[in-house]
Homo-oligomer: A and B are copies of this chain.
Amino acid sequence: MNDAQSRASETSFPRSACPVTNTLDIIGDKWTLLVIRDLLLGKHLYGEMMQSPEGIASNILSNRLQRLEQAGLIVKRPYQSNPVRYEYHLTAKGQDLQPVLQAIVAWARRHVPGVVVFPEVKQDERNEDG
């Protein structure tokens, strides 16, 4: 075990007690924040998210929805039976990532030429506790 790792293991966190690190352990990849973006934009069904322009693979979407549910950022609830099908909603914890998304959008508008911002985020979403 090296110095950096032994320092990290002094805490109960997998990598370190840093807030950035622990947030990245949840949202630190190329797809998770796009799922959250879609949910903030009012998409709640698997098929709706599949249709987003990035073309997420179905196994990746499935995996990210599971991880987000486990992390308490979204809840999954049935919207029909026979066959039972689910819709996904952000919890308060998930919705609180909106400022992160907004900061990212602000950065991209300044520094990545040609990006097109999606329609305004809905403000009428209901909070769910997860």
Contacts and interface: CB of A to CB of B under 8 A. Distances in A.
A4 B54 contact: yes
Interface of A: 2-5, 7-8, 11-13, 15-25, 28-30, 33-34, 37, 50-56, 93, 96-97, 99-112, 114-118
A16 to B, nearest CB: 4
Contacts of A117: 18-19
B34 A114 contact: no
Given A2-B55, A7-B53, A107-B100, A116 B20 contact: no
A14 B18 CA distance: 32
Contact of A33 (B24, B97, B115): B24
Main secondary structure of the interface of A (DSSP, over half): helix
B104 A20 contact: yes
A52 to B, nearest CB: 6
A37 to B, nearest CB: 5
Nearest to A2: B55
Nearest to A117: B19
B53 A18 contact: yes
